[in-house]
Amino acid sequence: MTRQENSSLHDYAIGILVFCLLVLAGISVVLYGRFFIGLMFLFAGIVTVIIVILWYRLRKRQYGRLAVIIITAAACAVIGILAITIATDAIVHAGGVIPRVPGESGPVPSGPAPWDPPDADLLGRQLNDTAALLTLPVGGFEDGRVFVSSYYPEGFANYTLVTRNMTPTTVELRIFPVEMARSSAGHAPYEDLNVSITPDYFVVAADRSYTAQVRVNLTSGRYDETLKLLPYYVQARPISGDRIIADDWVLVYAGGAFVPGVSGFYRGRAHLLDSDRELTIKAGETGNATFLNQPGIGGTGFVQYNLSMVSGRIDMMPMREDEKRPFPQGMEVTISPNNYTARSFGYYPSVITVKTDPDLPPGDYHVLIEADGIGTNGQCHVHVLPPS
């Protein structure tokens, strides 16, 4: 390969790199609403161009062809981002509300009907009904927080509805401000915030999942010197009258101020009850402990527990597989319920039962509880005493 050909390859490689960085910047903003990440990609692209041009000048090489390649790459990236934006809008407004199986259909809303006010107390009881949450259609946010400021004025959160055995129908959605999380009492619109959900209805079929996007736009610098946590309520209603558990809250963090610890507001927690971190039983007896999951806001998801015995020295999580051991003969450990669908602000206690045989050797046994879907683990220290 000649020196000229090698130089041409370098020029085209730099052009491709710049194109990719600019497209990633656009995708980060258009598809994911991540303005900071988009700016990072854009900054990386600009820095790349500056470094390359300075290098060419230092080496006294001509960079006219490189400049043409970079300008062409930037133009193609802009065209690509515009195409992605147009295609995304088309999918959200059309494809996102059509069942994914050809031939399925359902009623389409003919006009806005009056909404009944939501019952937050009823929702609170439903959120703790683990049996219903495993069988009924469920909707909610996996991450119910949206951060906006005058520097990053737009943000979004994804709402997902899982239909399960739901009859084909239309599910309508609306979002409105409330006084506080866990409440359905309406509040006047929060100033300088435009909040919407798109699409605002799904034509659904059984055993499908549908996603809507809550978009938040801050139109001023009103909150720059502070940080406000502004709650909104998403209400879902099926035209068919099917019973569903699909209302949820989303929290808008509006402002540019840094407030230590604020990210922990309404955050969930999964843990052993303090009184159950250690169990003392005699060989041949049975003991119980409670592992409690309180998801907080944005806690919708499937949870499953795995139990194993470990040495008791937990330095890092997740625990490596080679550090886990089966329970010894004469010890049986179970947890119930072992799997369920969690919802925002639910309350899900699971009972750990430790059953021992009289011939189990006395000693200390460490039970590891791994909670898939939560990302939190716990450890129960079981002291086994000699039998009476």
Residues 127 and 214 in one domain: yes
Residues 171 and 315 in one domain: no
Of 264, 293, 322, the residue that ends a domain is 264
Instruction: Say how many domains are in the chain.
Output: 3
User: What is the pLDDT of the chain when averaged over all its residues?
Assistant: 82
Residues 72 and 179 in one domain: no
Residues 250 and 278 in one domain: no
Q: In Å, how far are 3, 12, 29, 175, 197 from 32, measured between CA atoms? A: 42, 29, 6, 20, 15
CATH code: domain of residue 260: 2.60.40.2310
What does the pLDDT read at residue 100?
35
Residues 254 and 277 in one domain: no
Residues 274 and 260 in one domain: no
Residues 60 and 86 in one domain: yes
Residues 158 and 172 in one domain: yes
The angle subtended at Cα 347 by Cα 346 and Cα 348, nearest 5°, is: 115
Low-confidence spans in the chain with pLDDT less than 70: 1-8, 28-36, 63, 85-112, 257-264, 312-319, 375
Residues 316 and 373 in one domain: yes
Residues 256 and 315 in one domain: no
Residues 278 and 144 in one domain: no
- Consecutive H or E run containing 381: strand 376-385
Identify whether the C-beta of residue 367 lies closer than 8 Å to the C-beta of residue 343.
Answer: no
Contacts of 126 (CB under 8 A, 6+ apart): 132, 133, 245, 343
What does the pLDDT read at residue 235?
95
Residue 52 belongs to what domain range? 3-93
What token pair was written down for 234? 């998403």
Residues 240 and 357 in one domain: no
CATH code: domain of residue 376: 2.60.40.10
Of 201, 236, 264, the residue that ends a domain is 264
Of 247, 264, 281, the residue that ends a domain is 264
DSSP string, 121-162: HHHHHHHT-HHHHHHS-EEEESS-EEEE-SSS-EEEEEEEEE
